[in-house]
Amino acid sequence: HTLGHYHSCRTEHVQQAVDAALAAKADWAATSWENRAAIFLKAAELIATKYRPYINGTTMLGQSKNAYQAEIDAACELADFLRFNVHFLSEIYAQQPISGPGMHNRLEYRPLEGFVLAVSPFNFTAIGANLPAAPALCGNTVVWKPAGTQVFSAQMTMRIFEEAGLPPGVINMIPGDGPTVGDVCFSHPDFAGVHFTGSTGVFNNMWKTVGENMHRYRSYPRIVGETGGKDFVLAHPSADVDAVVVGLLRGAFEYQGQKCSAASRAYIPSNLAAAVREKLVAGVESFRMGSVEDFSNFINAVIDEKSFDKISGYLDHARQNAKILVGGTSDKSIGYFVKPTVIEAEDAAYRTMCEEIFGPVLSLHVYDETKFDDILTTVDTTSPYALTGAIFAQDRSAVELATNRLRNSAGNFYINDKPTGAVVGQQPFGGARASGTNDKAGSPLNLYRWLSPRTIKETLVPVTDYRYPFLGEA
């Protein structure tokens, strides 16, 4: 089906977006906090009511999400981002220094000097909206480049923002390819920061480009990014088998595994392996796969042909070099459908245990149940990423050991739960190592990055003599 058409920007369009952001900056920064907040609170209310079916529908059709996945993303999480950001920023503004006798001290939380570039991914409508909205709420003006495969819901987001009262030029959405947008924005002297979610490779290149252009900028840009993941589920010998299996079925295969937090490698102890295999395979075989328009389908198509071909390549390699427990096939004759796949790898360093696939593929390694300590080291050292991870155990000492040993292995760590589904205001989201700057979207930590505080001291009754009392001593 053809849902619509959009125009991909050229260099002059990017420059126009930057010019519009800079032209709107002074008025937007001078807009009172109460009125900035009201715009985004109204947008949240519109998303939760009038536009709920539209933001969900554009997400379902444009990004191949089933109704449940669209609802928890495009409606619920997006409204949460907007409302909680207002709450958190109110708390930040209230944080003020003490004042000594005869003086009044205050902190002014200014927006950054220049414009912010927001670059968003295809997989979450809420992230797409929050990347430009969070800096804008802080008084910044933004150039927003959504993923080409998210344009349908992105334009709906902009319609909602405009109806909520967002002035022209505050958020400037400009679809197009990354290099075209980046060449203009990263070389502009008023570039003040980038808010990014996407691949580690692209973010690394952004960081390099910003470094090479430092001599051009008015100030040091803020670089905030959430990137890739190779997220783990570790089962201890004491784990509940059913809990592990459900954690894997949901954590690995919801939204076809196209979440940066999706479970993509699992470590199962030998005493539980047979039961986990049996129930996991049965669960995968029970999935219905097809169009999002059929609400009985748990699995839908992957996002595009490029993704389909990449995932299919991993499946081809696994058929020759590992054991496929279930799935392992793909078909793009009527859509980019990849059957949910579980690969068992005897080698814990097999490529699908290490590399980010971003599809409905879970790799499983069975370890000796007596070597839990050794597998903790394997989990920590296998991947360059550190986004999400989970431990399943009923033995509390094992939970504590894993929590401590895997302290730097995941920015979001889950105990007896799947490693996906972070909720705004409850589990601030972000990881470190090659997974990003860990600035925790959905928390005050992220908002601080879009503020430049100015300290103001006012002396109430100025002194009129430079001499200190000791100078009069004989």
Please tell me the distance from the alpha carbon of residue 415 to that of residue 260, in angstroms, as a whole number. Answer: 18
Active site residue 260: yes
Neighbours of 211 (CB within 10 A): 10
Please tell me the distance from the alpha carbon of residue 231 to that of residue 386, in angstroms, as a whole number. Answer: 8
Cβ–Cβ under 8 Å, residues 151 and 228? no
Cβ–Cβ under 8 Å, residues 324 and 277? no
Of 7, 31, 6, 59, the residue nearest 169 (C-alpha)? 31
Q: Is 9 exposed, middle or buried (0-12, 13-18, 19+ CB in 10 A)?
A: buried
Catalytic residue, from 77, 260, 344, 354: name it: 260
Neighbours of 394 (CB within 10 A): 13
The secondary structure of residue 49, as a DSSP letter, is: T
Neighbours of 320 (CB within 10 A): 6
Q: Which two tokens stand for residue 73?
A: 């993303």
Phi, psi of 135 (to 5 degrees): -65, -35
DSSP strands (E only) in 158-293: 171-173, 191-197, 222-226, 231-235, 263-269
Cβ–Cβ under 8 Å, residues 338 and 302? yes
The secondary structure of residue 140, as a DSSP letter, is: -
Cβ–Cβ under 8 Å, residues 331 and 323? no
Cβ–Cβ under 8 Å, residues 141 and 193? no
Of 84, 85, 153, the residue nearest 125 (C-alpha)? 153
Cβ–Cβ under 8 Å, residues 190 and 22? yes
SS3 297: coil
Catalytic residue, from 77, 226, 344, 356: name it: 226
Q: Could you give the C-alpha distances from 13 to 18, 182, 239, 332, in angstroms and in order?
A: 9, 12, 55, 35
Q: How far apart are the first and last CA of the chain?
A: 94
Of 281, 55, 302, 30, the residue nearest 167 (C-alpha)? 30
- CB-based contacts of 436: which residues, under 8 Å, 6+ apart? 203, 225, 226, 227, 387, 430
Active site residue 226: yes
Cβ–Cβ under 8 Å, residues 253 and 222? no
Residues classed as catalytic: 226, 260
